Structure 1
Amino acid sequence: MLGMIGHTLVSFIDNIMVGQMGTAELAAVSLGNSFVFIAMSLGIGFSTAITPLVAEADGEKNIEKGKQTFNHGLILCTVLGIVLFLMILAIKPLMYHMSQPEEVVALAIPYLDLVAFSLIPLIIFQGFKQFADGLSQTKYAMYATIIANVINVVLNYLLIFGKFGFPEMGIIGAAIGTLVSRIVMLGYIWLLLKSKTKFKPYFERFSFKNIKKSILKKIINLGFPSALQMFFEVAIFTAAIWLSGVLGKNPQAANQIALNLSSMTFMVAMGLSVTAMIRVGNQKGLKNFKELRRIAFSIFILTFFLDIIFALVFMIFNQELPRIYVDEYDLVNQIDNLEVVSIAAKLLLVSAVFQISDGLQVAVLGALRGLQDVKIPTIITFIAYWLIGFPISYFLGKEDVYGSVGIWLGLLAGLTASGILLYIRFNYLTKKLINQSI
């Protein structure tokens, strides 16, 4: 959980520090990151294929099988990181044709260049992380993300505000902090894993001559649908950013605040989703399907109770949490800041409602990935987010209907539909496996 939160914490820190400069800067970070989040969802979603395959091999005590998955997965993650970076550079000009505020676009373009490049070390890091997760060694990725966040905070402070003789670079300083912290994060986890006895067999005698088309194909077949699942969810939240931008810079800044806070709680559920993927993958390797189902439901229940706590926090502190992101004593931007806080407070109430469905859907999705069931869940996520959620966001999110709140009501509908349908799928599959094993 802490390892997953670490990724979002970089964005959380950037948003708080940039928010002190004004709502236009905060909206620009939101717009720039919307492109990065889509690419990141594809990269991280694809890399998740490594975990259940390594976990299954670990359950079978088959080191060579796990090593092949790790080596092939790392190569694919490296190629994917470079491709995603180039893809963002190619589609960047779309910003000028999305009806976004001009001042926001002008700030977002140079910010995006640097943050997009940081995707390369981030996706390669994910390859190492998912491999370590598959061996049930989740703490090393946590250490790396903690160090990365410390570096990000320091560089943000020095470069955004120009402290201790450093130039005042604004949101470009935030982008540099993100890039450097992700490079350090990758270098650290590589050195750490390579030095540990448990991982040494997996790092020995690597050669490109040992790359096999069949293994690459297996990872791609599992990783591509997983990437699409994450893409469909992240893309609807990205669409919410763009729809908010049509309403103006203040609704877009408010949307970014609510989205960032919701992402923090979501990453807790995402951490439990990884746990479900690992443990279900282990039991699949052992062919113990009753224990597999028991473990999965234990994780679902834990996710449910944690999300109730988060929902209560959002409901009780919906007025106070958005104030973290803005400077209340900034008289020049005071009216804009008050509007942003007011809108974000309403969005957090909607977010409080979908905490439970959002957490459960990602936990169940992790369990299904552990079963290596990815094709049907991909169809389910597309239906839930784009045939149910997005149309509601689009029609209710217009300025003359419910505005920003309407956009988030669509998110609520999509996440709820996804949670229900994915649970039905998992329940059906596990009962079938148990009956077949009797």
Structure 2
Amino acid sequence: ELGAASFVNNIFALAIISGMGFAYGLTPVVGELYGKGELAASGRALRCSVFANTCAGMLLTAALFIVYLNLERLKLPEELLPLIKPYYGVLLASFIFVMIFNAFKQFFDGITDTQTPMWILIGGNLLNIAGNYVLINGKCGFPEWGLLGAGISTLCSRILMVIVFVGVFMKSARFARYKVGFFRLELSRKMFRRLNTLGWPISLQMGMETSSFSLSAVMVGWLGTIALASHQVMCTIATLAYLVYYGMGAAIAVRVSNFKGHHDWVNVRRSAYTGFHLIMVLAILFSSSLFLFRYQIADLFTDSKEVTLTVVSLVLPMLLYQFGDGLQITFANALRGISDVKPMMWIAFIAYFVISLPAGYIFGFILDGGIVGIWMAFPFGLTSAGGMLWYRFRGQTRRKHRDT
């Protein structure tokens, strides 16, 4: 069941991150309108975003369904298919709710109400954990559904989170002016186009970043099971740091978009650089902890000495790319905040597909560096992405400041 869950979750992770990137297109729009005090227009933007995210969700669901129809052609172990198919099908049914949740979350972030999404997300995750325990193990009178139970629990928690978001928006008096725009103003084609224009480049940028790690896992797989297990452990640790940094990055996007609404380009730049300094503080704390407790952290994931030693050997390349990761997260979100997202697509392609992946193959196989060589490519890819994003942000904000 663990192998089946890992396969399905890896496929859906790429779709979820791409969908999340699409939803990020709403944040600068709402943040700018909120900064101008146009609350009714912000409500209309939410309505357009729900519609746009539903359409994008249907496209991604169709793509995932095509994968589902071709599972037998992927040469998976025969014993996994009876476990994979029902679990995949239930998660497929839940995907559209993920997209609607993203629309509401980015709206709340854009109006600087980040606590409501946080509590809804925490509540949904706690419900999912409890549901997993009950449905996987057959507690409280339910049958023992195993992996299918985990999927049903995820579906229920995602539906409930959307219901709670809608309930908060509809019932709370503080959203009265937003609801005027949500219900009374016409659905704007111009706004719908703008959300798509902003959302798809961000989606592709985040998708390419994620797929670079996924494709690196394929190269790691050529080195054997110990290397692959070590890679999975390090990816789990790296994801934790990435999500912490991205929380700060989301705040940067909101503040930058707010100041852009006022045409205050001095504070646009100040917000981005202050955010970068805060992310660097987080990176130093994370890196110090990882280096000091590298053996203990590795032991949390495995009992294998070989895997532990391989994980420890990957700590150095991970530490080296923390600066680049923080840099690219900061200025990707700063560019989101000023709605300059199309160049991010090409920057991501160059950094991850032209630099990082070929470098991983060269370091890992031509120079015989093994898994450490593959991971040594990540600092080059992430730092080059961060440098190009910073250069773009610096040039755009300087020009805007001169023009105003």
Query: Could you state the TM-score of these two structures normalised by the residue count of structure 2?
Result: 0.90
Pair 1:43–1:166, CA change in 2 (3 A): same
Aligned mates of 2:77, 2:382 — CA distance in 1: 29
**1:42-79 CA-partner distances (Å, limit 9, x unpaired):** 21111111111011001111123212211101111122
1:376-387, aligned counterparts within 5 Å? Answer: 376-387=343-354
Say whether residues 1:160 and 2:136 are aligned partners: yes
Match of 1:410 among 377, 380, 383: 377
Residues 85, 119 of structure 1: 8 Å contact kept: yes
Aligned mates of 2:75, 2:311 — CA distance in 1: 21
Residues 160, 173 of structure 1: 8 Å contact kept: yes
Say whether residues 1:346 and 2:313 are aligned partners: yes
Percent sequence identity over aligned pairs: 32
Aligned mates of 2:381, 2:96 — CA distance in 1: 30
Aligned mates of 1:148, 1:228 — CA distance in 2: 27
Aligned mates of 2:293, 2:369 — CA distance in 1: 22
Q: Secondary structure at the match of 2:340?
A: coil
Pair 1:190–1:347, CA change in 2 (3 A): farther
More deviation, 392-401/308-317: 392-401
Match of 1:361 among 322, 328, 346: 328
Q: Secondary structure at the match of 1:319?
A: helix
- Paired amino acid for 1:426: F
Pair 1:282–1:220, CA change in 2 (3 A): same
Say whether residues 1:52 and 2:28 are aligned partners: yes
Residues 48, 192 of structure 2: 8 Å contact kept: yes
| Unpaired runs of at least 5, structure 1 | 1-24, 329-336
The number of equivalent residue pairs is 404
Instruction: Tell me how far 1:316 sits from its aligned partner.
Output: 2.1
In structure 1, the partner of 2:253 is 277
Say whether residues 1:64 and 2:31 are aligned partners: no
Instruction: Tell me how far 1:317 sits from its aligned partner.
Output: 2.3
Match of 1:370 among 337, 355, 359: 337
Match of 1:254 among 222, 227, 230: 230
Instruction: Tell me how far 1:95 sits from its aligned partner.
Output: 5.7
- Paired amino acid for 2:131: L
Aligned mates of 1:247, 1:117 — CA distance in 2: 36
Aligned mates of 2:375, 2:76 — CA distance in 1: 19
- Paired amino acid for 1:416: T
Aligned mates of 2:184, 2:224 — CA distance in 1: 51
| Unpaired runs of at least 5, structure 2 | none
- Paired amino acid for 1:407: I
Aligned mates of 2:78, 2:317 — CA distance in 1: 29
In structure 1, the partner of 2:212 is 236
Aligned mates of 1:208, 1:100 — CA distance in 2: 51
Instruction: Tell me how far 1:401 sits from its aligned partner.
Output: 3.3
Instruction: Tell me how far 1:358 sits from its aligned partner.
Output: 1.0
CA RMSD of aligned residues (A): 2.7
Instruction: Tell me how far 1:115 sits from its aligned partner.
Output: 2.7
Query: Could you state the TM-score of these two structures normalised by the residue count of structure 1?
Result: 0.84
In structure 2, the partner of 1:17 is none
More deviation, 397-406/211-220: 397-406
Q: Secondary structure at the match of 2:339?
A: coil
Residues 49, 222 of structure 1: 8 Å contact kept: yes
Say whether residues 1:391 and 2:358 are aligned partners: yes
Pair 1:248–1:195, CA change in 2 (3 A): farther
Pair 1:401–1:30, CA change in 2 (3 A): farther
Instruction: Tell me how far 1:97 sits from its aligned partner.
Output: 5.8
Pair 1:263–1:47, CA change in 2 (3 A): same
Say whether residues 1:196 and 2:172 are aligned partners: yes
Say whether residues 1:221 and 2:208 are aligned partners: no
